[in-house]
């Protein structure tokens, strides 16, 4: 794997630099092995959006702000769409479980593993993340920006980030992966879960609200 640049809040070669270290490298390797390229780009963009949101909120120097964990939570939040997911629980939970195994494997403290697990497990759940820890809140908001929420906050940086990590019809591929995972068992798409909701919409008219929202949103596809 190529070396990952050192952390920086400045633009580096046209994009924001990524953090470095064994935890970051293991997280990125797991994501690359599991995800469709467009979904991987979505996850990396989520980290950049999360960091920009953190800067907007003035929490980059907060004691609870941890850039390596923020990267891990973002880049692995869709691991459950990959081949290693058992397909027995919601993809959010299986993503969190797989991420926890990666972090445990590189010796991350149990408390850090739990924080990343929580951030990933709640990344599709509105209103709750802001009541949880900083990592969960920033992860949720960063991922939401990639779907068009608070796009104005990243207006100055978005062109460089999208140039480095293009969208590649992300929302279509992500919807397909979530639906495929949900179809593996009834417990993988329980009522009211995102996968269940997407399946109902796809069966009704072939296109989900999630897809329409992104295609018609500020980023398009």
What are the structural domain ranges in the chain?
A: 21-167
For the segment 33-56, the average pLDDT, to the nearest whole number, is: 96
* Whole-angstrom distance, CA of residue 62 vs CA of residue 60: 6
* Whole-angstrom distance, CA of residue 182 vs CA of residue 176: 10
Count Cα atoms within 13 angstroms, Cβ side, for 146. Answer: 33
For the segment 145-156, the average pLDDT, to the nearest whole number, is: 94
Reported confidence tier of residue 10, pLDDT bands at 50, 70, 90: very low
Tell me if 141 sits within 8 A of 53, measured CB to CB: yes
User: What is the model's pLDDT at position 221?
Assistant: 75
User: What is the model's pLDDT at position 5?
Assistant: 37
* Predicted TM-score (pTM) of this structure: 0.91
Tokens at 107, concatenated: 């010796």
Residue 50 — left, alpha, or beta (φ > 0 → left; ψ -120 to 50 → alpha)? alpha
pLDDT above 90 for 48:
yes
SS3 label, residue 11: strand
pLDDT digits (tens, 9 = 90+) for 101-111: 999 999 999 99
Residue 88 Cα distances to 42, 80, 102, 117, angstroms? 24, 10, 19, 17
DSSP state at residue 17: P
The contacts of residue 134 (CB under 8 Å, 6+ apart) are 59, 62, 64, 65
pLDDT digits (tens, 9 = 90+) for 59-91: 999 999 999 999 999 999 999 999 999 999 999
Strand partners, 15: 12
pLDDT above 80 for 3:
no
What is the assigned CATH class of domain 21-167?
mainly alpha
**Apex 8 CA angle, 7 and 14, nearest 5:** 115
User: What is the model's pLDDT at position 105?
Assistant: 97
Burial of 191 (0-12, 13-18, 19+ CB in 10 A): exposed
């Amino acid at each position: 794997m190529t070396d990952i640049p050192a952390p920086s809040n400045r633009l580096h070669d046209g994009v924001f630099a990524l953090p470095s270290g064994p935890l970051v490298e293991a997280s990125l390797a797991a994501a690359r092995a599991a995800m469709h390229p467009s979904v991987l780009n979505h996850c990396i963009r989520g980290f950049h959006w999360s960091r920009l949101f953190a800067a907007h909120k003035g929490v980059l120097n907060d004691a609870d702000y941890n850039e390596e964990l923020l990267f891990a939570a973002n880049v692995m939040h869709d691991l459950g769409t990959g081949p290693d997911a058992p397909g027995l629980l919601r993809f959010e939970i299986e993503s969190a479980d797989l991420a926890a195994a990666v972090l445990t494997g590189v010796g991350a403290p149990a408390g850090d593993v739990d924080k990343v697990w929580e951030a990933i497990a709640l990344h599709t759940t509105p209103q709750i993340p802001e009541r949880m820890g900083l990592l969960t809140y920033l992860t949720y908001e960063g991922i939401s920006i990639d779907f068009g929420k608070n796009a104005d906050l990243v207006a100055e940086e978005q062109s460089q980030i999208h140039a480095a990590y293009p969208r590649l019809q992300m929302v279509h591929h992500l919807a397909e992966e979530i639906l495929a995972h949900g179809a593996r068992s009834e417990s993988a798409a329980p009522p009211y879960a995102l996968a269940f909701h997407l399946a109902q919409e796809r069966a009704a008219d072939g296109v989900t609200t999630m897809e329409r929202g992104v295609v018609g949103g500020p980023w398009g596809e």
